[in-house]
Amino acid sequence: MMALDQDHPVEDLEPADSWALLAASELGRLAVSVGDIPEIFPINYYLHDRQVIFKTAQGSKLVHLTINRNVVLEADGYDDETAWSVIVKGTAKTIQDTELIEAARKLPLPSWIPTVKYLYVQITPHTISGRRFARGPETWQ
Amino acid sequence: MMALDQDHPVEDLEPADSWALLAASELGRLAVSVGDIPEIFPINYYLHDRQVIFKTAQGSKLVHLTINRNVVLEADGYDDETAWSVIVKGTAKTIQDTELIEAARKLPLPSWIPTVKYLYVQITPHTISGRRFARGPETWQ
C-alpha cells in the first residue's frame, strides 16, 4: 500500500532536501495548462545546475504544449517507512544555443530512437517544494 | 534506470487494459489548472464503477482547486521489462449524497488523521488513454 495524505504532511522539506531528492530521481510528471485545461506527461529528466533538462522529438505535442509556458514537474518516491513528493514550478524553453545543446547531449538522458532528432527543453525553476509522508499503519474509515 | 520516451510509445493500450492498470494502482498525480497555471498533487485514489474517488480534508487547497474543474489524473508503474502510464481526463465534484458518502467511506482509502472530517471527491472520466513502454537497453546520445 502506497498511502499519502496531501493534507497532513508529516514534514515540509527544506529546499536543499527537495533539490537532493529531485536530483536523485529521473522520472517525473510534467503538467502544463492550455486554455485552462491541464495536461500531464511522464518524462525522464536530468537536473543540471538546478535546471531541469529533458528531451523530446522535434514537432512532438510535448514541445508545443510546453514551450514558453508555466509548467509544473512532480517527482516522488518511497521506501519502507516514508514517501516523498517534490514539486517544481517554472518556465520551459527550448535550448537554442549550440554549445548548450552539445552539453545537453552529454547528459544521461535516454534515446530510444537513434535516428530521431531531439529538442532539448530546459525548465528554469521558480519555486521548489517538497513533502515527506509517513507510511502506515493506516486507519480506514 | 526508469526510462520512458513519450514520443515513441511502444504500445498504445486498449481502454480495457488502461482501466485494469488504473484499477490495480492507488497512487496517482492529479493535475488541475487555475488561471492557466498548472498545479499537481499526489493523491491516493480508488476506482469504483469507473469513477475515480479520493478524499481530502474539508477546506483543503486541493478541494478548492479541484471542484467543478477539468482535471487530469496520471498513474504509472513498471516491471523489469516495461513501464506503463495511464491518463484520465475528467471533471471533479464533491460527493454530496449521504448514501454515496456512506458507500465512499467503505472504500479502501487511507485516513491518516482519524479526527479530521474528509470530503470525498469524485472524478468522472471523459477519456482514458494508456501507453506501455519497453525498458532498455538504452542508447545515450
Element housing B18 (H / E): helix B15-24
Is the peptide bond preceding residue A137 cis, with omega within 30 degrees of 0? yes
Q: What are phi and psi of B49, to 5 degrees?
A: 50, 40
Question: Is B12 part of the contact surface with chain A (CB cutoff 8 Å)?
Answer: no
Our CA-based measurement puts residue B90 at a distance from the nearest CA of chain A, in whole angstroms, of 10
Residue A102 confidence (pLDDT) above 60: yes
CA A95 to CA A97: how far, in whole Å? 6
Cα-Cα end-to-end distance for chain B: 16
Q: Read out DSSP for B48-104?
A: ETTEEEEEEETT-HHHHHHTTSEEEEEEEEE-SSEEEEEEEEEEEEE---HHHHHHH
Q: How confident is the model at residue B110 (pLDDT cuts 50, 70, 90)?
A: low
Tell me, rounded to whole angstroms, the distance of Cα A17 from its chain centroid. Answer: 15
pLDDT of residue A140: 41
CA A38 to CA A66: how far, in whole Å? 12
Kindly report, residue by residue over A34-60, the tens digit of the pLDDT.
888 899 999 889 999 999 999 888 877
Q: Do A8 and B38 touch (CB under 8 A)?
A: no
Report the C-alpha dihedral over residues A30, B43, A47, B81, rounded to 10 degrees. -80
Fold of B11-133: Pnp Oxidase; Chain A (2.30.110)
Residue A133 confidence (pLDDT) above 60: yes
Kindly report, residue by residue over B4-20, the tens digit of the pLDDT.
555 554 689 999 999 99
pLDDT of residue B92: 94
Characterize B114-135 residue by residue with b for buried, 16 or more Cβ atoms within 10 angstroms of its Cβ, and e for exposed: eebebbbbbbebeebebbbbbb
pLDDT of residue A96: 87
Residue ranges of A 63-102 with Cβ closer than 8 A to chain B: 70-72, 74, 76, 85, 87
Q: Do B42 and A76 touch (CB under 8 A)?
A: yes
Cell of B24: 490495480
CA B56 to CA A7: how far, in whole Å? 7
Q: Do A8 and B57 touch (CB under 8 A)?
A: yes
B3: nearest Cα among B86, B78, B74: B78
Q: How confident is the model at residue B139 (pLDDT cuts 50, 70, 90)?
A: very low
Q: How confident is the model at residue A63 (pLDDT cuts 50, 70, 90)?
A: confident
Q: Do B7 and A56 touch (CB under 8 A)?
A: yes
Question: Is B137 part of the contact surface with chain A (CB cutoff 8 Å)?
Answer: no
More confident residue, B120 or A112: B120
Q: Can you tell me the ipTM of this complex?
A: 0.81
More confident residue, B141 or B95: B95
Q: Do A138 and B112 touch (CB under 8 A)?
A: yes
Let me know: does B4 contact B85? Beta carbons within 8 Å.
yes
Domain boundaries, chain A: 12-134
Fold of A12-134: Pnp Oxidase; Chain A (2.30.110)
Let me know: does A30 contact A121? Beta carbons within 8 Å.
no
pLDDT of residue A13: 94
Q: How confident is the model at residue A112 (pLDDT cuts 50, 70, 90)?
A: low
Residue ranges of B 103-122 with Cβ closer than 8 A to chain A: 105, 108-114, 116, 118
pLDDT of residue A111: 59
pLDDT of residue B2: 54
Q: Do B113 and A8 touch (CB under 8 A)?
A: yes
pLDDT of residue B140: 42
Our CA-based measurement puts residue A85 at a distance from the nearest CA of chain B, in whole angstroms, of 7
Let me know: does B72 contact A104? Beta carbons within 8 Å.
no
For an interface test with B, the pick among A1, A21, A37 (most B C-beta atoms closer than 10 Å) comes out as A37
